[in-house]
Structure 1
Amino acid sequence: MAKTTRPKPLRVLGLDLSLSPGIAAIEVRNRQPYLVACSSVATSTDDPDAVRNYTVESFVSHFVREHRPFDYVVREDFTSGRNKRATQTIFSSWAAADRALYSYGYQAADLKPALAPTSVKRLVAGNGKAEKAEVAAAVRRLLRLGEDYAFKTGYDDSDACAVALAYLIREGLIDTEGVAA
């Protein structure tokens, strides 16, 4: 009798990077996404940027160590902020996360096309201008979490889930048909 093997689960790390980043590990089994873990950390504006970036790097490093291995690492694209300072803080958090990822042999995929915030919202919530609570509700639905599943204040963890889910949807790696709306 021939031995049947199940396909290896696919694991995606999703990043929503800022100086208060969100991170999520989502596993796909039989074209269904499952939440492995998600979290976020808030840094203090009272701290200098060096401390805030060290916090981001440490946070990402700890999460990656706890939830690896990953097949894909994806992050929401960013081109420019409201002002020079906003742009600076986002790119500094990218660099902090990149240091953490690299220490474990990972790097964020250079997605073509990039996953713009409006694309993430459109793919996950059906509306490119969806509010954070709407995105969180769509994430709960796609991951089959209860309506009472609580994301952290600010929804950075939910946003990281949305980034990973948007990638999986766009690449046709999960089924969304029949998931209750």
Structure 2
Amino acid sequence: MMMDRCVTTLVLYGGQIDNVLGAVEMRDLVLAPKAPLAELLRPVPFVPEQQTVESLLQFFRKRRVDTAVVVDEYGGVAGSVSVEDVAEELFGPLQPHDATEMAELLGPGRYRLSGSLPIHDLTKAFGLRPGRNSVATVGGWVTALLGRIPQEDDVARWRHVTLTVEHMERHRVASVIMTLEGKND
């Protein structure tokens, strides 16, 4: 499943890997699960295999994209590269390799989220913008919505999102079940 690997962009190809069709953002799939892939497909830029990390960083900033297809000297697809790959090359791992999974797809429009999932990652993966609360994590967001320390089975609602506290560890939200209304049919 895509969320098991924190994938935010899928590069699609037809028939052979060298026939790249474009890219699909995970948040678009989540927000429109029944839409044909052709409607969600976006152009994806290509970069040469020899491009330096520094020039890739400039490329991503200038083009305002976060994924590119890497081509070898013969014009064949060698793989893909993301802005996260570049950041890790420059600054080291962005999260520990043994980090627990932060999100799990449970069914259409239904996800188990770690309470420590950064709001930035939630925004990137699902296109949700939880307002201007000064919170950094999903657990903090649920706490802010409830206005108190949550308890297991507490329910918080925000727009078309229902957040049910699944598990607490002392006073910390450990996991939340997020349901996107209208996405579970």
TM-score bracket for this pair, using the shorter chain length? under 0.3
Larger Cα Rg: Structure 1 or Structure 2? 2
Q: Under a length normalisation based on structure 1, what TM-score does the superposition of the two structures give? A: 0.27
Structure with higher strand content: 2
Structure with higher helix content: 1
Which gives a bigger RCO, structure 1 or 2 (Cα 8 Å, sep 6+)? Answer: 1
Q: Under a length normalisation based on structure 2, what TM-score does the superposition of the two structures give? A: 0.27
